[in-house]
Chains A and B, each alone.
Chain A
């Protein structure tokens, strides 16, 4: 078996379509974009890609698990702030802060009449501790929230409202506790990590690639989970929770796990955000960013991992372009996007792509994979490509475009939401 055949056969990757989708995404992130834009723009794209971690987490949590968290900004923020605390401490060595009344503490603490470093800041002097904290603090926080709510069977809109309230609480807290958090400005002026200047062009390149690799790590991990029995149960739970419970599963544990995992992914995104952008502020924690991250995921297709990445890139690109040139129009556009995606394209870009792919039979083996599940689920991932990359995909698959793949489920009424569930079942 060649490598290509092995990859195609892997249920984790999701058949030929899944492999091509991943390959195209990798080409876009690691080759096309770095070669075609300058470092300023690339850094901007890197920033967008940190949001994609949140979107990938939401695909699992919301698209597959049916749990809509409106508080993913909490975890993005916790991860980002943990990293920012480490960088801020490094930037606040006694030498560079000697004009302060208390040298050696971060500038905003000095402005707020603090004379010593608060105890909970101390451990963030260590990089290993910080890296562990980036992952464990959000996970722990998610575990507490998830345990309290899922064990009591709080779900649906109640979960959404309560997570939203928690996001509000955290952002008010950060703004209010200026002396400890930097307040509304956040933690700015972050310069080096262990002496390495993160503001230099070379560092920005390196961080961009590290970010991309981590994102792929998150996608692969998600794909593995989706192709396991866990993934199948997640879908089963979303649609018939009672049946799963009365098949002997403790539903809450599965929900807690997926919520913690989504939280950890968001936190990694937050930490990478801090590194690439050089600051962290409460404006990435509260209600508005949290719900915006949901729309990134919805635009790409709530059940599609790769779609979520493209959705994030596209919406943020639009936001940058419009808020630079027509700031007035942007809110209209964003609002319109929310409304129209939900009402007319509940499966987002991935849904549109998938319809086209089915219609023209671009992926013949897709139907076969769906019919004969190899391990636990038929792992076919829908994915989306930006217009400029469509040709690449077509070229890669020119051999099989002629025959239309027979699909058993074609007879099924293909209304918006139902087909989103179908997508879920395959991914």
Chain B
């Protein structure tokens, strides 16, 4: 199969830090509208894979093609502008700005120096902010300084900031860490809603949560793929049970 059929094609991706291979000739394909979950023990290289895709870490070898564009040569902001959004492990929001402002800053217009100096809040921006705010269940908090949000709400806000950019590929690093059971359910609904017209990669440890959202699961171990496939198949895999699920 030609890799042009995929939204994201990662091939032979390797990165080494002073000889230590954090990701070792990894090959992975993500379909359109797919929600893929990366699991694996600590240090398996999950976060590093996301770092490599979004350009935070430069790869040693291999290729990452997004809609047939090679990402490894682009700088971070170019990768974002080509349609890749990334949420960090710890909620990374602008605590001194209001929820509204957080979303507005993420609106993909006025991204240059002079563009930002002349940026005007149009009705279009306003509508978009309100729509996303409704999606992430923060409508009533729009005017609140975002530092005052709960931990879970901050996670949602960061997802919302990514949604403002309407990315084709959304990457979420542990989106439900620190959330209550109810918030986890709401987040699962949210993820199922937003992967309707885009591909999503999620890193998650909570297997119950993974079951609710995953179309396919990739298990990483020591920088390599241990198993890949639907949840039931992966859960039954002996190697996976041994290194990860077993304990």
A–B direct touch, CB within 8 Å, in complex? yes
Contact surface of A with B, Cβ cutoff 8 Å: 225, 228-230, 232-233, 235-236, 239-240, 242-251, 253-254, 257, 371-373, 375-378, 408-409, 411-412, 421-422, 424-425
With an 8 A cutoff between CB atoms, is B235 at the interface? no
9 A-B contacts, Cβ less than 8 Å apart?
A229-B104, A245-B76, A247-B106, A248-B111, A250-B111, A373-B101, A412-B147, A422-B96, A425-B97
Give the residue of B80, B85, B113 whose beta carbon is less than 8 angstroms from that of A254. B113
Cβ-based interface call for B81 (8 A): yes
Q: Are B97 and A247 in contact (CB under 8 A)?
A: no
B76 touches A253 (CB 8 A): no
Q: Tell whether B4 is near chain A: CB-to-CB under 8 Å.
A: no
In this assembly, does B220 line the interface, its C-beta being within 8 Å of a C-beta of chain A?
no
How far, in whole Å, are A424 and B101 apart by their CA atoms in the complex? Answer: 14
Residue of B nearest to A250 (CB): B77
Contacts of B161 in A (CB 8 A): 243, 247
Verify A376–B119 contact, CB threshold 8 A.
yes
Across the interface, do A235 and B94 meet the contact criterion of CB distance under 8 Å? yes
B-chain residues with CB within 8 Å of residue A240 when the two chains form the complex: 92-94
Residues 114-153 of B contacting A (Cβ, < 8 Å): 116-121, 143-145, 147-148
B111 touches A249 (CB 8 A): yes
Q: Is A246 in contact with B143, judged by CB distance below 8 angstroms?
A: no
Residue of B nearest to A424 (CB): B96
Specify which chain B residues have a CB less than 8 angstroms from the CB of A378 in the assembled complex. 98
Number of B positions contacting A (CB below 8 A): 41
Please determine whether B80 and A425 come into contact, CB atoms closer than 8 angstroms: no
User: Does B229 have its Cβ within 8 Å of any Cβ on chain A?
Assistant: no
On whether A246 and B119 interact (CB within 8 A), knowing A230-B113, A422-B96, the answer reads no
Minimum CB–CB distance from A380 to chain B (whole Å) comes to 13
- Nearest 10 A-B pairs (CB), nearest first? A248-B80, A229-B119, A425-B96, A230-B116, A229-B116, A243-B92, A236-B94, A421-B96, A257-B113, A250-B77
Within 8 A of A (CB), among B81-96: 81, 85-86, 88, 92-96
In Å, the complex CA distance between A257 and B85 comes to 26
Contacts of B240 in A (CB 8 A): none
- B165 and A247 contact, CB distance less than 8 A: yes
Known: A248-B165, A257-B113. A236 touches B105 (CB 8 A): yes
Interface string of B20-38 (1 = CB under 8 A from A): 0000000000000000000
